[in-house]
Amino acid sequence: MQDEAASRVLVCIQCGKCTGGCPESGRTPFNIRMLVRKKQFSYTIDESIPWYCTACNACTIRCPRDVKPSEVVIDIRSTLVENGDIPLAIQKALENTFVQKNPWGKPRSKRGEWAGKLNFKVPHISETEHKRLLFLCCVHAYDPRCMVIPVNVATLLHRAGYEFGILGEEECCCGNEIRRIGELGLFEELMEENKTNFKEYGVKEIIALSPHCMNTMKNEYGDTGIKVMHYTEVLSGLIKEGALKPHKPFEKEIIYHDPCFLGKQNKIFEEPRDILKSINNTNLKEFSRSKEISLCCEGGGGRMFFEVETHYKRNSETRVEEAQSKGVEIITTACPFCVMTLEEKAVEKGLAVKELSEILMEVI
Amino acid sequence: MSYALIISEVRRGVFEERNLDSIGMAHLAGKDAFLLIPEGNYNLNNSIVNKIIKAKLEESLFLNPLIITELISKIIGTLGAPEIVIFTHSSSGIELASYLAGKMSLPIITDVSGYDRNEQIFFKSYYSDKVFGQFKKAKESPLVITVRSGSFKDHVTEKGKNAEEITVDGPSGIEERSFVEYVEEEKTGVDITKAEFLLSLGRGIGNKDEIPKFEELANLMKATISGSRPVIDKQWLPKERQVGTSGKTVKPKVYLAMGISGAFQHIAGMKDSECIIAVNKDPEAPIFQYAHYGIVADANKIRDKLKDLLQG
Amino acid sequence: MDILVFVKRVAATQEEELRLIDDGKNIDLSKIPFKMNDWDNYAVEEAVKIVEGQGGSVTAISIGSAESDEVLRRAIAMGSKDGILMETQEAIHDPALRAQAIYNFLKKEDIKFDAIFTGVQSEDDQFAATGGILAGKMDLPYASMVIGIDAIENGYFVLRRELEGGLQERIKIKAPCILSIQSGINEPRYVSIMGIRKASKVERKTFKFNDFASRGDAIIDLIKWSYPEKKGGATMLTGEMDEICKEILEILKKKGVC
C-alpha cells in the first residue's frame, strides 16, 4: 500500500484541485497540494501538519490524475507512527485500541452493554438464521450520547420483523480511523480479528451503524463475500416495502447533513433523504454545500481523538450557522462523529441535532 | 516485650501528620508504640507513644534507606526485636521499608489500610482499591508494613503520661547514596496535573465575562482553574488548562466541576480524582454518575455564595 | 551502561469492575485484556534513553506466565537488546519471594549489570517493594520514586526523587544500584504493531522460575480477597443555597485543600 502511494505522487501535476476542495485548506496550515509536492521531492514535512487531515476524501475524488492525496497523507502518517513521532492523544488512542480494541480504552467486556437498554433480546449472530450482523462501532457501544443510536436502530429493525444478530463483546474496532491515523499494522490486526469472527459465524450481511465502519468493511477488508450496508439503506428499504410505517407527523423544519464517509465516499445520498421524505409534514431543507460537496464536520481521520493546536473557526460552526440562516430547528445526520461535532456548536446556538434514527423513533 | 517500632517521617523539620496513622496502627494492634525520630524540636504530643527514640543524625540521613537500616539493626541490638516495624506509605516510607525488609529478610506488606486484630490479618489494596488482599505473615519474624495515610489515625489514644525518651547515636553519612538538596518543582506556566485542588469550568458558566469572577473564587479557595473543551475552544481559558482526552489527565485531591455536563472525553481526564464535586443545572448531566457529591444548581449562583461565605 | 529492566504483564482493569470467585480465593480476570505495567513502560523508556545517549544495552526481564513474552517483545520494540522470561504459571503475591528468585537468578546465571530499573509499583498488587527488597538482599544502593535522572558521571547517578506536595530531593547514588522509576519521568515512545512484529525476531531466553525459588519460600500469605466497602453514586447536596455552600466548604476542609 505504501509503495503504491509513493509512486502515485509522481504523476501529480500540482493543479491544486485537491486543495480547492479540502475542508482544512485556507483556515489551517494544512495544504494538501504542498504535502504531495513535498512527498514528490522527499522533502521533510513538519510532523504536526499531516494531523489536520480529516480523511474526508474530497481531494481524492477531485484529483484528475488519480494521485489519491488522502492516501499520501496516510503514507506520511504511517512513517510518523513507525518512528513514534505522533501527538500524545493519538498515541493514547492507538494504545487503547491495542489493549481494549477501542480508541477510548473502555472495557471490551462492556461492549455489549447497550443491548441491556432494549426491551427484547437481540440474539448473538451464531443463533440467527439469516446471518445478518448489526455492527455497532466503538462510539455507539461506549459513548453515552450515541448509545441511543444502536438501541433505536435495533428497535426499528425488530419492529419491522427483520432478523439480525450481534457479536457483543467479540466485536472489535473496525479500524477505519486507525488506518487513517497510519497505524497499518494495528489496522490489519483489527481487520483480521473481525474477519475471523465473520467467517466463524458465517456472516452473510453486515448492517453498519456508522458510515466509517461501513466504509472500511466494504472497501478495505478485501473480498469477504459479505454484503456490507449502512443502516439507512436497510431502513429505507423496509419503509418502501411497508414493513415500517412512519405514521406520526413530524412538524419540524429539518436539514440533512451528508456524512463524508456515507455520501461522497460511498455515494449513499438518497436513502437517508428517502427516509426523511417518508415522514409526514416534515419540511426537509438542503445545505448549499450538500451531497458530493458536503462540508466535512472534521470528525474523521483521527480528529475525534486529537485536537489540532491552532484556533480557527470550526466547520461545525459554519454548518450550524448556515442551518440557522435557513430557519431550521433540527440538523439531522446519520453518522455518530457528525452528531458529536455538530451538536456541540448547535446547542450553543439553540439548535438541536438529531441522529436520523432518533427522528424515526418519534414517528413510528 | 512486644513492641511496635514506628519510623517517623520528618521533612524539613516538620513531623508529618501521616505519622499518626503509624501510631494508630500500633495502638490498634495493641503494641507498645516506640517512635524513632531524628533529634530535633517537633510539634509532637509525646503522650501518645510509650517511648521516643531520638537518633543523633540529620533528617536527610535519617531518610536514607542504607543508613536507617543500620540504625534499626542497632536499636534491635539494644531493645530486642519488635513485633512490627511501621512506616508511612509515602515516597520515603516505601523506599525505607522495602530496603529494610530485603536487608534483614523480613516479611513486608505495604499500603496497609485495614487490620483485623483477632485474625491478625492486614488488608492491602489491589488494582487501585477495586479489591483488597488479606495478608498474614508466614514466618515467625518481625513484620514490616507501610500504612496508608488516613487509615488509622482515629485509633490513636493518649497514654496518660509522657513517653520515656532515649537517645541513640546515628551512623555517619555514606558515599553510596547521599542527599544533595531539596528542589521545588519548576513552575513554568500552570501545570494543572500537579494541582491538588482544581476548580474546573464548563460551558454552563455562560460566557467569558464570568471567568474573572471564578478566578476571584479560585484565589479565595487556593484552587487552580481548569476547564472543559468548549471553554478552551472559545478561548475563555488557555489550552494548558484543558482537562480531558484532548487535554490533560488530572488526579487532584478535589475536582470541583462547575457547569460541566461531563462529556465522555472530559470524564476520561478527571474520573480518578480523589473527590469530585459537581455543580450543574441539569440533574441528568452524566457528570453526576462519576461525582462523589452533586449539586443541581446554577454554577454562577453557587460561585457567588461561596465567595460571600469565604469573604465572611 | 548495561541496564536490566524488570517488566510485568498486568491486567488492564482501570475501567473494569472486578469479580471475586472461588469464595474470594481468586479474581476473575478471564475477560480482561493484559498490557505492560504502566510504571515499567516508563522504566524501559528511561533505560533506553540512557543507552541511546551513552551506549550499552538494555535487557528486559519478566516474571510470569508464557504470555508475558508480549511485554518482552514490547520492551524490545522500544529499544531493549533482548529479553528474559522467568516463567511461572502461578501468580506470585509475595514481593520478597519475587526478589529472592531474581537474586538467585542473577547470581546463578552470573548476569552482569551497571543498574537495575523497576517501575515504582505494579498496577495489580501495588506493593512498590520488589526493587527495594532486591537492593537490600544484594547490598546495592537503592532509590525509589525516581522522577528525573539529571546526570550520570564518574560512576554516580545524580537524580531527583518525587516527594510530596510538589517537592523533590536531589540525591547522588553510586552504580551499580537499583532504581525504581516513577511514572511521568519521560514520555514513553509509541511502538507500532510493525515494530512489535520485528521484535518477535529477537531471541528471548526462558528460564523456569522454580529453578530459582519455590513457592514455599514465601514469607507472607495471601489468605483471600475481599471487596472494599461500598460507596454509592454521588451524594446529592440539597437544601438552601447557603447550607449547600457551607457543606461544600466543609468537604473542602475535610479534604485539606481549603
CATH code, domain with B91: 3.40.50.620
Same domain, B163 and B198: no
Is the CB of C233 less than 8 angstroms away from the CB of B288?
yes
Strand-strand pairing, C156-162 and C167-174: antiparallel
Per-residue confidence band for A352, with pLDDT thresholds at 50, 70 and 90: very high
Residue B206 distance to chain A (closest CA, Å): 10
Nearest chain C residue to A185, by CA: C193
Pick from B108, B132, B181: which is nearest to C95 by CB?
Answer: B108
Is the CB of C257 less than 8 angstroms away from the CB of B125?
no
**Greater pLDDT, B187 or B159:** B159
Q: List Cβ neighbours of C107 (8 Å cut-off, separation of 6 or more).
A: none
Q: Which residues of B touch A140 (CB under 8 A)?
A: none
Is the CB of C235 less than 8 angstroms away from the CB of B292?
yes
Is the CB of C192 less than 8 angstroms away from the CB of A186?
yes
Class of domain A2-83: mainly alpha
Out of A57-61, A106-110, A199-203, C161-165, pick the least confident.
Answer: C161-165
How large a percentage of chain B has pLDDT more than 90?
75
Same domain, B299 and B252: yes
Pick from C134, C221, C242: which is nearest to B305 by CB?
Answer: C242
Round to whole Å and give the CA distance between A290 and A113: 35
Round to whole Å and give the CA distance between C27 and A97: 24
Same domain, B229 and B83: no
Q: Which residues of A touch C41 (CB under 8 A)?
A: none
Q: Which residues of B touch A105 (CB under 8 A)?
A: 268
User: Looking at the domain that runs over A245-363, which CATH code has it been given?
Assistant: 3.40.50.10700
Q: How far is CA A132 from CA A174, A236, A336, B77, C71, in A?
A: 17, 17, 21, 77, 38
Question: What is the sign of the dihedral through the CA atoms of B215, B218, B220 and B223?
Answer: negative
Q: Which residues of A touch B263 (CB under 8 A)?
A: 145
**Which pLDDT score is estimated for B247?**
78
Q: List Cβ neighbours of B35 (8 Å cut-off, separation of 6 or more).
A: B6, B8, B19, B23, B49, B51, B52, B53, B163
Same domain, B203 and B282: yes
Strand-strand pairing, C82-87 and C26-28: unpaired
| Interface test with chain B among C17, C177, C221, C235, by most B beta carbons within 10 Å | C221
Pick from B179, B274, B301: which is nearest to C171 by CB?
Answer: B179
Round to whole Å and give the CA distance between B18 and B24: 10
Q: Which residues of C touch A91 (CB under 8 A)?
A: 190
Per-residue confidence band for B264, with pLDDT thresholds at 50, 70 and 90: confident
Whether residue A6 has pLDDT greater than 80: no
**Which pLDDT score is estimated for B55?**
96
| Interface test with chain C among B121, B295, B303, B308, by most C beta carbons within 10 Å | B295
Is the CB of A145 less than 8 angstroms away from the CB of B246?
no
B225 contacts B199 by C-beta, under 8 angstroms: yes
Nearest chain A residue to B235, by CA: A311
**Which pLDDT score is estimated for A1?**
46
B213 contacts B303 by C-beta, under 8 angstroms: yes
Is the CB of A348 less than 8 angstroms away from the CB of B235?
no
Whether residue B235 has pLDDT greater than 90: no
For the segment A104-114, the average pLDDT, to the nearest whole number, is 92
Tell me how crowded residue C186 is: count the other CB atoms within 10 A of its CB: 18
Round to whole Å and give the CA distance between C13 and C1: 35
Nearest chain A residue to C9, by CA: A99
Question: Which of C190, C77, C198 minimizes the C-alpha distance to A83?
Answer: C190
**Which pLDDT score is estimated for A310?**
59
**Which pLDDT score is estimated for A128?**
97
Q: For chain A, give every domain's residue range.
A: 2-83, 90-236, 245-363
Using one digit for the tens of pLDDT, what is the confidence trace for A178-190? 999 999 999 999 9
Same domain, B21 and B115: yes
For B308, phi then psi, to 5°, come to -55, -50
Nearest chain C residue to A181, by CA: C192
Chains that touch A (3 or more CB pairs under 8 A): B, C
Residue B230 distance to chain C (closest CA, Å): 24
B222 contacts C257 by C-beta, under 8 angstroms: yes
Residue A86 distance to chain C (closest CA, Å): 8
| Interface test with chain C among A91, A178, A181, by most C beta carbons within 10 Å | A91
**Which pLDDT score is estimated for A11?**
93
Is the CB of A94 less than 8 angstroms away from the CB of C189?
no
Question: Quick check: A80 contacting C, CB < 8 Å?
Answer: no
Residue A89 distance to chain B (closest CA, Å): 6
Round to whole Å and give the CA distance between B289 and B287: 5
List residues bridging with B108 in a β-sheet: B144
Show which residues on chain A lie within 8 Å of chain B, measured between beta carbons.
Answer: 89, 92, 104-105, 142-145, 305-307, 309, 311, 314, 344, 348
Using one digit for the tens of pLDDT, what is the confidence trace for A228-251? 999 999 999 999 999 999 999 999
**Greater pLDDT, A51 or A307:** A51
Q: Which residues of A touch C186 (CB under 8 A)?
A: none
Whether residue B177 has pLDDT greater than 90: yes
Same domain, B162 and B63: yes
Asked, for residue B95, whether it belongs to a domain, the answer is: yes
Q: List Cβ neighbours of A258 (8 Å cut-off, separation of 6 or more).
A: A264, A269, A290, A291, A294, A333
Pick from C142, C161, C224: which is nearest to B134 by CB?
Answer: C224
Pick from A100, A105, A183: which is nearest to C193 by CB?
Answer: A183
Is the CB of C190 less than 8 angstroms away from the CB of A189?
no
Q: Domain range for residue B82?
A: 3-169
Total domains in the fold of chain B:
2
Average pLDDT, whole number, for chain B? 92
Supply B43's cell numbers. 510539634
Average pLDDT, whole number, for chain A? 94
Q: What is the CATH number of the domain that holds B303?
A: 3.40.50.1220
Q: Which residues of C touch A111 (CB under 8 A)?
A: none
Supply A73's cell numbers. 497523507
Residues 122-151 of A with CB under 8 A from C: none
Instruction: Specify the fold of C2-231.
Output: Rossmann fold (3.40.50)
Choose one of B169, B204, B223: the last residue of a domain: B169
Is the CB of B110 less than 8 angstroms away from the CB of C127?
yes
**What is the gyration radius of the CA atoms in chain A, in angstroms?**
20
Supply A75's cell numbers. 503514507
List residues bridging with A137 in a β-sheet: none
**What's the N-to-C CA distance of chain B in angstroms?**
54
Is the CB of B246 less than 8 angstroms away from the CB of A143?
no
Residue A254 distance to chain B (closest CA, Å): 25
Residue-wise DSSP of A245-310: ---S----EEEEPPPTTTTTTT---HHHHHHHHTSTT-EEEE-SS-GGGPPP-S-TTTTTT---SS
Supply C98's cell numbers. 519475587
Is the CB of B180 less than 8 angstroms away from the CB of C171?
yes
Round to whole Å and give the CA distance between A68 and A9: 8
List residues bridging with C2 in a β-sheet: C57
Is the CB of B179 less than 8 angstroms away from the CB of C20?
no
Q: List Cβ neighbours of B312 (8 Å cut-off, separation of 6 or more).
A: none
**Which pLDDT score is estimated for A4?**
62
Same domain, B259 and B297: yes
Which strand (E) or helix (H) includes residue B268? helix B264-270
Pick from A81, A91, A108: which is nearest to C33 by CB?
Answer: A108
Asked, for residue B174, whether it belongs to a domain, the answer is: no
Residues 183-242 of C with CB under 8 A from B: 218-228, 231, 233-238, 241-242
Is the CB of C31 less than 8 angstroms away from the CB of A109?
yes
Nearest chain C residue to A142, by CA: C15
Whether residue A3 has pLDDT greater than 60: no
Asked, for residue B69, whether it belongs to a domain, the answer is: yes
Question: Which of C117, C256, C150 minimizes the C-alpha distance to B186?
Answer: C150
Q: What is the pLDDT along chain C (258 residues), one digit of tens a residue?
A: 999 999 999 999 977 889 999 999 999 999 999 999 999 999 999 999 999 999 999 999 999 999 999 999 999 999 999 999 999 999 999 999 999 999 999 999 999 999 999 999 999 999 999 999 999 999 999 999 999 999 999 999 999 999 976 689 999 999 999 999 998 899 999 999 999 999 999 999 999 999 999 999 999 999 999 998 765 578 999 999 999 999 999 999 988 887
Cα atoms in the 13 Å half-sphere on the side-chain side of A288: 9
Residues 31-90 of C with CB under 8 A from B: none
Which strand (E) or helix (H) includes residue C35? strand C34-36
Fold identical between A2-83 and A245-363?
no
Round to whole Å and give the CA distance between C163 and A235: 60
Q: Which residues of C touch B105 (CB under 8 A)?
A: 96, 137, 219
Is the CB of C16 less than 8 angstroms away from the CB of A184?
no
Size of interface A-B (CB pairs under 8 A): 26
Asked, for residue B181, whether it belongs to a domain, the answer is: no
Burial of C208 (0-12, 13-18, 19+ CB in 10 A): exposed
For A169, phi then psi, to 5°, come to -75, -5
Residue B205 distance to chain C (closest CA, Å): 17
Q: Which residues of B touch A102 (CB under 8 A)?
A: none
Same domain, B137 and B225: no
